[in-house]
Amino acid sequence: MKGISIFATKVSASLLHRIGRGGSLPGSIGLKLDSDIFSKLRINGPVILVTGTNGKTSTANMITDLMEQDGYHVISNRRGDNLREGIATTLLSHSTLSGRIKADAVVLEVDELNVRHVLPKLPVQLLVVNNFFRDQLDRAREMEQLIDSIEGVLPNFNGTLVLNANDPNVVRLSLKAPQADCLYFGLTKNKYSVASTNEASEGKFCPKCGARLVYDYYQYSHIGKFHCSKCDFQTPPMDVELTDINLETETFRYKDKLYRSPYEGMYSMYNCAAVLAVSAFYRMKESAARAVFAHAPQPKGRNERFEKDGRTVILNLVKNPTGANEVMKVIERDERPKSVCIVLNDREQDGTDVSWIYDTFFEKLMKDTTKAVVCTGLRAYDMALRMYYGGYQGKIAVKNNVTEAVDLAMKECDRVYVVATYTALLPTRNIIVKEMGL
């Protein structure tokens, strides 16, 4: 069935491409014809998987660029089709009918719940893990269940785990992978580190003995330097350690050399640290990572800026408390007059449970410089109520039509921040482009 599976996937992917569509349907067909197709593929070169709650798309794409800088011919699911079916589409579309992948490196972004379907079936050399946070409880379930699903396939993994040393929920993976090597990355204490935090925090208890974890400092959420109050579980020594973090200039140092992150926020520095860890593993030249950071494309809706005639609109994706809190920090640092438009949907891809908005510190944008907050989307009134309960004293408006909401936010101020959930992101982006005449 291998050849039939590959042929059907390639034909259906080609037909969809001709009408300007892609996605996971071709891979679904291939997997139905041969559910074990992954294990029958031949890949002559490194296979790198990237997973985690936040930042996996940007990290996977930068690692893809890194490998290409080093001369590899890489295939990757750059568009983010990170479920098993989407990964099947990527791999089988680039395979011969005999199952040979036509590349000498493969970099795949993998949804956390799908790691268990992919890791055991492919010759994975590196598994890169950024972080674990609560995200879409209706789909991903509690974080403990999600981590358990990954730990279940690690005992036989004999590659290298590339792990965020500042996240105890990531470090714990090493305990379940006795045959794997580990490479740790992270950030040192810096002027933004804090001794305590009231953000949604998952890293409270030791995965080895269950005792409370003690933090020397936090970077954000439960990310920081930790140790168990009873056993030896702690932040491991870092193989790749970023220093001199500056969020005003978005710069950091690694091995005494100055780099600039292509994206804003401390969480983006961790993406860069993961890329540098991969670079260190393959002993690449320093210039390769520097070139990647200098030319990394701006993902749509990730702090994306639109400017024309003195007006600036900044669009950001939000989908869980930790990621949303980092966006709130970016908005909070901007002291200029602004309006904010929030597009909140609750479709399946967004997560039907929107209670996470009460774990997000929207209070950070409740300042005198925020002249108005316009709420829209399928759960617009829930969002408006959240702002009201948060104590916002400025203008709160609700618009059922997203175009009207964006238009009103632009009329309120020449500087506008728009935050949108997953299914709202691209439609909102199209509206911004149209409204601004770009």
pLDDT range class, residue 146, cuts 50, 70, 90: confident
What is the SS3 assignment for 319? coil
User: Phi, psi (5° rounding) for residue 221?
Assistant: 45, -130
Q: Is the pLDDT of residue 138 over 50?
A: no
Tens-place pLDDT, residues 227-237: 999 999 999 99
Query: 40-44, 170-174, 287-291, 355-359 — which is least confidently predicted?
Result: 355-359
Return the biggest CA–CA distance within the chain. 65
More reliable by pLDDT, 297 or 33: 33
Kind and range of the H or E run holding 426: helix 422-436
Distance between CA 144 and CA 141 in Å, rounded? 8
Nearest Cα residue to 139 out of 348, 285, 333: 348
Query: For the chain, how many residues are written?
Result: 438
Alpha-carbon distance values, 330 to 193, 219, 263, 315, 425 (Å)? 16, 15, 11, 12, 18
Grouping H, G, I as helix, E, B as strand and the rest as coil, residue 241 is strand
Judge whether residue 9 has pLDDT over 80: yes
**Range with the lowest mean pLDDT among 119-133, 134-148, 233-247, 390-404?**
134-148
Strands 257-260 and 251-254, how do they pair?
antiparallel
- Residues 6 or more apart whose CB falls under 8 angstroms from that of 411 comprise none
Q: For position 133, what pLDDT does the model report?
A: 85
* Average pLDDT value for residue range 183-193: 96
Q: Are 259 and 293 in contact (CB under 8 A)?
A: yes
Q: Left if phi > 0, otherwise alpha if psi is -120 to 50, otherwise beta: which for 278?
A: alpha
Burial of 316 (0-12, 13-18, 19+ CB in 10 A): buried
Q: Does 190 score more than 90 pLDDT?
A: yes
- Average pLDDT of the chain, as a whole number: 92
Pairing of strands 311-317, 302-308: antiparallel
Check residue 348 and give its pLDDT: 82
Whole-model pTM? 0.85
CA angle at 77 for the pair 1 and 15, rounded to the nearest 5°? 60
Please report the pLDDT score of residue 140 as a whole number. Answer: 47
Q: Given pLDDT bands bounded at 50, 70 and 90, which one contains residue 74?
A: very high
Q: Is the pLDDT of residue 217 over 90?
A: yes
Quick one: pLDDT band at residue 376, thresholds 50, 70, 90? very high
- pLDDT-derived band at 357 (thresholds 50, 70, 90) equals very high
